[in-house]
Amino acid sequence: MFNLTGKQETFSKQVPKNLLANILYFILNVIIGLFLVPYFIDSLGVASYALIPLATSLTSYVNLVVQSLNTSVSRYLTIDLQKNEFRKANITFNTALFGTLGIILLMLPFVVLISYYSPSFFEIPTSQENAARILFIGVIGSFLLRAWGSNFGVSLFAYNRLDLQNLVNSVNILVQVGLIVILFKLYSPNLVYIGLAYLIGALAALLLTIFFSRRINPHLKVNIKDFNRSKVNEITEMGGWVIINQIGSLLYLQIDLIVVNKLFGTVAGGEYSVILTWSMMLRTITGMLVGVLTPVILTYYAKERIDELIYISKNAVKFTGLAMALPIGYICGFAPQLLTLWVGPEFAKLSLLMVLMLFHLVINLPVAPLFAINVAYNKVRIPGIVTFFMGIGNFLLAVIIPYLTGWNYYGVALAGAIMLTLKNAFFTPWYATKVLGISKNTFVNSMIPGVFAMILTGGTSYMMAHYLNISGLVSVAACGLILTTLYAYVLWVFCLKQSEREIAESFMPLKIRNLLHMKQNVINES
């Protein structure tokens, strides 16, 4: 698949391991996510629970600058290390490390102010105001700590050791959840303990990231003398446009929860957060699939293997669409049953909201591999501008639609579906082809199979749920297993070309690959 030799062949062989690590981390996230939401609702109530995803969404804004700069740093540092230019890599690393530290220190007063005045910004029960302040400080502070530590994590990214990154992330989430459960049991359910658990989890992850970074990449040394102001300009030039892009993305992905909280109150915000959990889970799946390719795309660019870059990007869009069509269709088709089993029958009324928030993701998630192309070519200015202004359009539409129609948070979800789909169905694939200098329909054609697959799986799931009167956990799970088996068989036998099967196999661990070949040989001999 990757057509690389020597050191680069070792680099590419890491891809199946990374994908397996991503899958395991995703499973961990799903198990904890499915456990935590009903646990928090039962322990704290819907109104108090709504403050947790609200605080988490605010971290996206506070953490905006640091994460955008890290995207730029990842690009330059990966290219430097792949070319064995270690002196340049040290300058990039230390400039980013001390530069982001300065930014974080400047942001701390604003973090304190945002946290202290959070009861003035949002609908927070009076009895929970002080606890909410500590929650906001803890959650936002933990994200800043992780963001600074990600400068060390760039080495793991550059050497394609995403399995270690997932180990760090797993430690972070396990420490968080473990402390929350222990503190809730020892004392009483309180938002304060959640903020404290987030901070301690982030500290553990930071220490582990530094340890792995030194083991994997001993070439990088912390040295403030390597801080280079001219390198700051190079990083921030790209990072600045990434920031604009990120602001627009947040106006798509995070503003809806704040709008719902402000317009319709904390209970509505809690209900919206329940459905938002599924959307974030599907985005996590996509990140799991696409994340293993980003270092590979940057490496192809650094090695000037552009034909391979185009080939893998085109197939990544198609595979991501086909992979996401199954869970999106299944969740939409079984929405009432899944909500009833997960958080209780009183939440089954939100099934229409779930469909509205999820169905369009079959278009908006498969384009994720294309963002790495913009970063590799340092073509982030125009996407940043487009995303920013369409993000503003999403915010305005999220306010206008409920006001004009009275559709409550359904109008907010509809606004997001419209604006995000307009951007990712047209601009994102077109601009990637413009950067690469290829046919403008290349990536759109790769998205179409996933759309049809989602419609078929969604329709099939709906008919199974209603005509077979499916309701219990065992029957819902059995339907999911049957649907997955049929989907995988039809996809593999009838929908994929031989070259595409070979690509899919290259993402599998060697043992599974050999097992498939053995079975295929048996079939051919018979």
Q: What is the dihedral of CA 475, 480, 485, 491, to 10 degrees?
A: 150
Tell which wins on pLDDT, 448 or 55: 448
pLDDT of 12 strictly over 70? no
Res 334: pLDDT: 94
What would the two tokens of residue 477 be? 């799970």
pLDDT of 340 strictly over 80? yes
Give the CA distances from residue 466 to residues 20, 432, 462, in Å, rounded to whole numbers and listed in that order: 35, 42, 6
Res 328: pLDDT: 96
Res 419: pLDDT: 93
> Tens of pLDDT along 287-299?
777 777 777 787 7
Report DSSP letters for 457-485, one per residue: HHHHHHHHHHHTT--SHHHHHHHHHHHHH
Res 38: pLDDT: 84
Tell which wins on pLDDT, 253 or 112: 112
> Tens of pLDDT along 365-414?
999 889 889 888 888 889 888 988 988 999 999 999 999 998 999 999 99
Give the CA distances from residue 361 to residues 332, 368, 417, in Å, rounded to whole numbers and listed in that order: 11, 11, 8
> Tens of pLDDT along 86-110?
888 888 888 888 887 887 888 788 8
Q: What is the mean pLDDT of residues 321-338?
A: 94
Q: How far apart are CA 397 and CA 62, in angstroms?
A: 24
CB 34 within 8 A of CB 331: no
pLDDT of 6 strictly over 60? no
The contacts of residue 92 (CB under 8 Å, 6+ apart) are 73, 76, 77, 80, 231, 235
pLDDT of 8 strictly over 50? no
Read off the DSSP letter of residue 508: S
- How many Cβ atoms sit within 10 Å of the Cβ of residue 327? 20
Least confident of 113-122, 199-208, 217-226, 232-241: 232-241
pTM: 0.71
Tell which wins on pLDDT, 156 or 33: 156
Q: What is the mean pLDDT of residues 30-56?
A: 78
Res 427: pLDDT: 94
Q: Which of 506, 43, 25, 45 is nearest to 271 (CA)?
A: 45
Q: How far apart are CA 144 and CA 101, in angstroms?
A: 9
Res 224: pLDDT: 87
pLDDT of 420 strictly over 60? yes
Q: How far apart are CA 124 and CA 114, in angstroms?
A: 14
> Tens of pLDDT along 117-164?
777 776 676 777 888 888 888 888 888 888 888 888 888 877 778 788
CB 286 within 8 A of CB 368: yes
pLDDT of 486 strictly over 90? yes
Provide the mean pLDDT of the chain: 83
> Tens of pLDDT along 236-266?
666 666 667 767 776 777 788 889 988 988 8
Q: What is the dihedral of CA 283, 286, 290, 291, to 10 degrees?
A: 50
Tell which wins on pLDDT, 363 or 235: 363
Residue 98: strand, helix, or coil: helix
Res 240: pLDDT: 64
Res 423: pLDDT: 93
Torsion sign (Cα): 23, 27, 29, 30: positive
Which of the four pLDDT bands, split at 50, 70 and 90, describes residue 514?
A: low
Q: How far apart are CA 112 and CA 108, in angstroms?
A: 6
Tell which wins on pLDDT, 310 or 496: 310
Least confident of 21-30, 71-80, 409-418, 452-461: 71-80
CB 458 within 8 A of CB 359: yes
